Structures are given as structure tokens and as C-alpha cells.
Amino acid sequence: MEARFDRVDGDRTVSLQSTYAPQYAAGGDQALVDGLEGGSDFRTGEWQGFQGQDVLATIDLGSTVELGGISIGMLQEPRSWIWFPEYVDVAWSINGRQWSSEQLTHAISRQDEATHLLRLSSTKAIGKQARYVKVMAKSAGPCPPGHPGVGGASWVFLDEISIGRK
């Protein structure tokens, strides 16, 4: 099975139902599909940062396409209060009203103090027809016990949503 991953073209639109922090805007509302992937340093400008909230983004592909897969990049750097989302729901739809979805998870502990980059991918979407793709990243919640910021609002950092076409 093969899938080609192309970045969403600039004329396609992302609608964010969450608010990123101005200092971590990564170029604005369309940054999650701008083709720029972040590295291990969240300060370089490719990462979009959301504090104390889930992240919900809906992408209008402009027309119905056959999906080859959907993936999303994320960062974890606990010393900066940044954790991977608890999970990511990826959904796709032809009409924007009826959705099919897949929940993506990871096995990296919140207790792991190392910096990690991760790309979660949906394979269930392969071969499905869609015009709209929705991504919801569930915040890991407040900083955990044992962390210097215990109880404080943690961050979710995302960079690129890639949508493959068959």
C-alpha cells in the first residue's frame, strides 16, 4: 500500500476553533498547513502553541479528494510546560456534517523529562473520500505533581498537519 503526503496548498483554508498564544503563532491561522515543520526548539517560529486548552482545527481541502492518510506533528518539552496531547482525534467528511474518525495515541509518559518530537498518523483515512479534515488535540491538562509548575496550565505545541492523497 502506498500513500503520497502533500502539504495542503496555500489556497486551502484552516479554521481554528482554539486560540494560539501570540508569541507562538508560527505565522498565523494557516501555519498548521504551511509546509514548515518545527524542530526540537519551540522558539524557532514553526510551532503553534496553545496554553490550557484543547486544539481544534478544521481544514477545507477545497474539493473532495481520496485521502492517502493524515498526520500531525507535535512536541513535548516538560521543562517548558509543553506536553504531548493526551490523544488526537482525526476526522474526515465529504459534507462537513457527517464525520468518520480515528483516535491516535502515543505511549510517551508525562514523567519523561526529555524533549520529544512525534508525528501521529491515521491509516484508517486511507482511501476515504473527504473535503474536510478535522483535528482535535486533547490537552494533557495541568502540569502534573512533581513538576515545578504543578497545577499550572500546560501547553500543546503543534506544527504541521499533512494530508496524503492517493
Q: Place 78 in a pLDDT band, splitting at 50, 70 and 90.
A: very high
Do strands 100-104 and 48-51 pair parallel, antiparallel, or not at all (unpaired)? Answer: unpaired
Q: Give this prediction's pTM.
A: 0.90
Beta bridge partners of 125: none
Q: Which three cell numbers stand for residue 56?
A: 481544534
Q: Which three cell numbers stand for residue 42?
A: 519551540
- Judged against a pLDDT cut of 80, whether residue 8 lies above it is answered with no
Q: Place 11 in a pLDDT band, splitting at 50, 70 and 90.
A: low
d(CA 146, CA 159): 28
Beta bridge partners of 83: none
Which residue shows C-alpha cell 496553545?
50
Taking only the tens place, the pLDDT of each residue in 31-62 is 999 989 999 999 999 999 999 999 999 999 99
Amino acid residing at 30: Q
Specify the 3-state DSSP secondary structure of 97: coil
Domains assigned to the chain: 4-165 (2.60.120.260)
